[in-house]
Structure 1
Amino acid sequence: MQATLLQQLVHKLAPNCCLWCQMQVQQPQAQLCDFCHAHLPSLDLSWVEHNALLLPQVAQGLTHPRFDSLYSLSWYRQPYRHWISQWKFQHQHAVGELLCQLLYQRAVLYQQQGGPLPDCISYTPVSNKRLQERGFNQAKLLALQLAEAWQLPCVSLFQSPDLVPHQIGLNRKERLANLKGKIQLKQRPLPAHVTLVDDVITTGATLDYLSSLLKAKGVQTVSVWTLAITRAF
């Protein structure tokens, strides 16, 4: 998107600082300097059919996933580790905007490279209590970026009436136990292919659980998009 003359003027008078190195950015509206943007860690999945499940590092940890493909921007490393934490727990909305922009840009590239598109996009739900605490559902905001990039509907397919305990530090078995009965599939028609969005995939338990709910109701293909993949499955 081209910057307006006013935005260019504001940039010259008071340029933004890069959200990683804190140096001045070179482009109006940018949140990273050109150097940091060019050196962001990235997963090139075009050579494995746009599917991180085909990477040995992922396949060894995510055994028998219920979803069919996984796409991610990066491994869970800096600066993504820092940014995701700042967004979710410190309410750093500028960082959230940056992560949404990066996901949008990758979604556009993915489509240009011929990646298969779903019928609709959905996202990991949060309970009303957690939504009130945080003020937003980061998975929904990310899902909206895919919907805009691909011109497809973003649909709320799940509800979480009960608070799911925090999953940080839990193994896969413990996470699945936390989820049972806490997330429900809404009663609505379901398409053949759904893309689910979350910020990070750690053990895969949450996305596995959501995928099993969808496939039990006839969804044929579930693809998953995340910002980052941890290496500790």
Structure 2
Amino acid sequence: MRALTLVVSLNLLLGPWLIWAQGEDDGKVTCGSVVKVQHQATRFRLHSHDIPYGSGSGQQSVTGFGGGDDNNCYWIVHGTEGEPCSQGEPIPKGRTIRLQHARTRRWLHSHFHRSPLSRNQEISAFGGDGDSDGGDEWMIEWDDRKKFWMRDMKVYFKHVETGAYLLTHDRKYSNPIPGQQEVCGIQNKKDKNTIWFAGEGVYFPNSQSSVHDEL
């Protein structure tokens, strides 16, 4: 029943952008996949919605969301404009990617504005289809010896232009988004709150299945 609910929800959310994957599942996170990015320490999910920040850039806010059934937690995995990747292509360590918010079509973005609660680096959602820049680019890193990004593997997202690592923590907003956590960027990768993993979603099968996983 849970899997059926996910299928129906994503069909309604993504419409013509979603082509359902068929084939063998090898656990890789691949380009074109639609995923919930989950925080290791708090289990909150990376989330956005059409609510702007009241300070800083005034762009669309990005938060951590504790509920499981929210379509605003889905993100589409893309390559960059300069280095696109095809649907089903596995993502190697150190690859620069973009994450597009599935519902609003805006890109996970950062810059040198201050975040509202902790005064760290603000993380926003910005741009849209055909409107993306270098502030949307994130390098994916991990400590595991696997060559490719795998589901449930602990990973870090490093903002290419500023060097900040994506983080959430237990600093929570009040109205109009009560209970949602601040998402921000910091320079210290060793902070435990910089660790994320790819959770539930729709994963396109590996289009390069002959490539070995191990280094």
TM-score category, normalised to shorter length: under 0.3
Which structure shows the bigger proportion of residues in strand conformation? 2
TM-score (norm 1): 0.22
Q: Which has the larger radius of gyration?
A: 1
> Relative contact order (alpha carbons < 8 A, sep ≥ 6): 1 or 2 greater?
2
Which structure shows the bigger proportion of residues in helix conformation? 1
